[in-house]
Amino acid sequence: MAYKQFPKLGGVGDMSPCMVISIDLGRGSTPEVAQLMHPVKMACKAVSMGTLIADARYDSESNHEF
């Protein structure tokens, strides 16, 4: 089975002022679990972050430790 490549967008937002803080563009098809750290690190450079709520597709031991 051949995998097709398609655009992927991951992002970090603040829901209080409803603002996008960082985005990460890439190509799929790849596992999302490895794509959490980059946009979160970029967001931490811009704002102070207390709590991160992420989709289940980012669930991994390495992301929990991060």
pLDDT in tens, 20-55: 899 888 887 777 777 888 888 888 898 888 888 888
Q: Domain limits at 14?
A: 6-58
* Residue 63 domain-assigned (yes or no): no
Q: What is the mean pLDDT of residues 3-16?
A: 83
* Residue 64 domain-assigned (yes or no): no
* Residue 52 domain-assigned (yes or no): yes
Q: How far apart are CA 56 and CA 63, in angstroms?
A: 11
pLDDT at 3: 66
pLDDT at 1: 57
pLDDT at 61: 85
pLDDT at 66: 77
Q: Please tell me the pTM assigned to this model.
A: 0.69
* Residue 1 domain-assigned (yes or no): no
Q: Which two tokens stand for residue 48?
A: 């102070």
* Residue 21 domain-assigned (yes or no): yes
* Residue 66 domain-assigned (yes or no): no
Counting the structural domains of the chain, the total is: 1
Q: How far apart are CA 53 and CA 27, in angstroms?
A: 23
pLDDT at 54: 82
